[in-house]
């Protein structure tokens, strides 16, 4: 049986819950089992699986696990100093049961990062998308337009962990951060690049191709079946 690794940020939470479960067992056994179940869920939440990333030039992969919540046109965050022109933005909502490790959608160099403290509305709401705590990252690429990724905290998620600094080199699919307990991740595609995913589609970070710069295909339509 293969066990999925746990992200290093998760071990303190697992240890605290395990200790609490041990105490609860001594007080009353049914409470101990509840504590043990909570410990198991915590370990599950912080799972950090390996992913196989397609590497053909032009492919842009998902930065997060979760459901495509919306696909629209938006201007990248002003703090990243990118052109103030709308591009396709793919918003992915992560539930409490999704892997919360964010990954680089393309290979590139971190040109700029911008952290903004904020509120903790539901990440699925428009208010949360506009006002919640966030970490924005601008990725520069040789001979190609820059691309932006934004990690947004949610109503339960209150911490964004992203240790990237300007000048860091990234490979496509490489881990770039962690959002604790429910959140949203946005990818701003390069200009004139159409999305290859649909609203409601489930994505796998580092594996699902969300766009292809070498393709002339128009935006896809989807239907639940």
| Same-domain check for residues 93 and 70 | yes
| Same-domain check for residues 83 and 120 | yes
| Same-domain check for residues 67 and 127 | yes
| Same-domain check for residues 21 and 124 | no
| Same-domain check for residues 115 and 166 | yes
| Same-domain check for residues 37 and 64 | no
> Is residue 219 in some structural domain?
no
- Asked about 165 being catalytic, the answer comes back as no
pLDDT by residue (tens digit) across 84-115? 999 999 999 998 889 989 999 999 999 999 99
| Same-domain check for residues 18 and 125 | no
| Domain total in the chain | 2
> Is residue 177 in some structural domain?
yes
Instruction: Specify the pLDDT at position 34.
Output: 95
Per-residue confidence band for 1, with pLDDT thresholds at 50, 70 and 90: very low
What range does the domain containing 35 cover? 8-45
| Same-domain check for residues 65 and 33 | no
> Is residue 128 in some structural domain?
yes
CATH code, domain with 65: 2.70.70
| Same-domain check for residues 102 and 182 | yes
Angle between helices 29-45 and 11-27 (to 10 degrees): 170
> Is residue 51 in some structural domain?
no
Among the listed residues 125, 166, 183, 215, the single catalytic one is 183
CA dist 90 to 18, 36, 55, 93, Å? 38, 37, 20, 10
Phi and psi torsions of 27, nearest 5°: -80, -50
| Same-domain check for residues 204 and 121 | yes
| Same-domain check for residues 15 and 85 | no
For the ranges 96-105, 120-129, 161-170, 194-203, which has the lowest average pLDDT?
120-129
| Same-domain check for residues 86 and 185 | yes
- Apex CA 181: angle with CA 177 and CA 182, to 5°? 90
Average pLDDT over residues 9-36: 93
């Amino acid at each position: 049986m293969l066990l999925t690794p746990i992200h290093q940020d998760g071990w303190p939470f697992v240890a605290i819950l395990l200790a609490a479960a041990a105490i609860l067992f001594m007080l009353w056994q049914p409470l101990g089992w509840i504590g043990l179940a909570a410990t198991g869920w915590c370990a599950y939440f912080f799972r950090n699986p390996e992913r196989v990333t397609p590497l053909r030039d032009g492919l842009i992969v998902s930065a997060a696990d979760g459901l495509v919540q919306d696909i629209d046109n938006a201007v990248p965050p002003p703090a990243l100093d990118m052109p103030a022109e709308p591009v396709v933005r793919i918003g992915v909502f992560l539930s409490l049961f999704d892997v919360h490790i964010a990954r680089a959608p393309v290979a590139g160099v971190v040109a700029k990062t911008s952290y903004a403290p904020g509120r903790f509305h539901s990440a699925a709401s428009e208010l949360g998308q506009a006002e919640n705590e966030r970490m924005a990252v601008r990725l520069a690429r040789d001979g190609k337009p820059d691309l932006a990724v934004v990690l947004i905290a949610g109503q339960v998620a209150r911490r964004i962990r992203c240790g990237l600094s300007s000048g860091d080199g990234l490979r496509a699919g490489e881990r770039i951060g962690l959002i604790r307990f429910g959140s949203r991740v946005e990818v701003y595609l390069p200009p004139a690049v159409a999305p290859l995913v649909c609203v409601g589609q489930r994505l796998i970070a580092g594996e699902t191709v969300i766009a292809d710069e070498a393709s002339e295909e128009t935006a896809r339509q989807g239907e639940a079946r």
